[in-house]
């Protein structure tokens, strides 16, 4: 199902809570965070939250139960499994290496992670081709309060808008931790390009007004072809959640010799 982006963050959290993937008592790390993360997570009921970004200029008057900290998603200082869940809301595409950011989230999460990102879809590619979408996120920097933030690594240079696919996410996670069989949970949404609405080109603004209802129609017919999505990576319990060819010895994964014996001709092994 595809959602309007206005309630996508909150509705995704509520759905994952309902499905038992998350619960409000979890210790949560929000990376690439802003005041929006603070407000949405608080509304969803999460109180044990650490909000991190490369700098701590959060637009938050009173963090309440939440903690504010400096943190680089590409090089997190927390140990493995230190948080129950890790969340990134439209932040990974600002990284020098979005994949490294994803894997750092995966490393410090005990139970799983939740990411909201642009999707490499038909709608995204079409909107970029006609000039409504952006290949480089110039609008974020140009429209920032000082014109010097919101780009590559939250700096003054507009970042390339890295767009993901489901298969790419799954290959990245499986490559990093082949000893565990993670589950993947996806949801889709329409996100009107913010730069187009503020463009000085009247043709682009007019095209956006036409594109929004057409994109919503496309989302109803082909939900997975929307321009943004959320994905949760859910870690299994170990050793039960390992592939059958893996066994655990003294807390370390290795090839299961019994599985190897039953699946390969090993008589010539010395």
Look at residue 3 in the predicted model and tell me its pLDDT: 42
Average pLDDT over residues 164-168: 96
Listed range (21-30, 40-49, 86-95, 261-270) with the worst mean pLDDT: 261-270
Helix axes 166-176, 98-108, angle to 10 degrees: 60
Q: Does residue 96 surpass a pLDDT of 70?
A: yes
Q: Does residue 199 surpass a pLDDT of 70?
A: no
pLDDT tens digits for 52-70? Answer: 999 877 888 899 999 999 9
Look at residue 196 in the predicted model and tell me its pLDDT: 46
Average pLDDT over residues 98-111: 98
Distance between CA atoms of residues 256 and 232, nearest Å: 29
Look at residue 253 in the predicted model and tell me its pLDDT: 97
Question: Cα dihedral sign for 84, 88, 94, 100?
Answer: positive
Listed range (57-61, 133-137, 142-146, 207-211) with the worst mean pLDDT: 207-211
204 with 195: CB under 8 angstroms?
Answer: no
Average pLDDT over residues 124-144: 79
Instruction: Specify the CATH superfamily of domain 2-236.
Output: Vaccinia Virus protein VP39 (3.40.50.150)
127 with 211: CB under 8 angstroms?
Answer: yes
pLDDT band at 130 (very low <50, low <70, confident <90, very high): low
Mean pLDDT of the chain: 87
pTM: 0.87
Q: Which of 75, 71, 3, 2 is nearest to 37 (CA)?
A: 71
149 with 155: CB under 8 angstroms?
Answer: yes
Q: What share of the chain is helix, strand, coil (3-state, %, to 5)?
A: 35, 20, 40
Percent of the chain past pLDDT 70, that is, above it, reads 83
pLDDT band at 203 (very low <50, low <70, confident <90, very high): low
Angstrom distances, CA of residue 36 to CA of 8, 90, 103: 12, 11, 23
Domain boundaries, the chain: 2-236, 239-270
């Amino acid at each position: 199902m595809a959602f309007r982006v206005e309630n996508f963050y909150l509705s995704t959290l509520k759905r994952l809570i309902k499905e038992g993937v998350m619960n409000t008592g979890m210790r949560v790390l929000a990376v690439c965070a802003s005041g929006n993360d603070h407000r949405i997570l608080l509304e969803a009921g999460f109180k044990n939250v650490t909000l991190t970004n490369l700098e701590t200029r959060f637009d938050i008057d009173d963090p309440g139960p939440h903690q504010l900290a400096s943190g680089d998603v590409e090089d997190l200082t927390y140990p493995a499994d230190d948080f129950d869940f890790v969340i990134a809301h439209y932040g990974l595409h600002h990284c020098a290496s979005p994949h490294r950011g994803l894997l750092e989230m995966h490393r410090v999460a005990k139970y799983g992670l939740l990411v909201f990102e642009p999707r490499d879809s038909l709608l995204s590619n079409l909107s970029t081709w006609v000039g409504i979408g952006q290949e480089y996120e110039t609008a974020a920097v140009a429209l920032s309060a000082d014109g010097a933030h919101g780009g590559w690594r939250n700096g003054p240079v507009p970042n390339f808008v890295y767009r993901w696919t489901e298969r790419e996410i799954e290959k990245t996670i499986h490559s990093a931790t082949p000893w565990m069989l993670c589950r993947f949970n996806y949801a889709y949404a329409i996100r009107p390009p913010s730069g187009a609405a503020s463009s000085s080109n009247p043709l682009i603004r007019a095209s956006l007004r036409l594109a929004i209802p057409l994109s919503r129609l496309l989302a109803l017919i082909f939900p997975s072809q929307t321009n943004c999505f959320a994905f949760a990576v859910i870690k299994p319990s170990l050793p039960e959640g390992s592939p059958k060819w893996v066994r655990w010895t003294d807390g370390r994964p290795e090839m299961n010799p019994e599985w190897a014996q039953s699946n390969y001709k090993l008589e010539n092994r010395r």
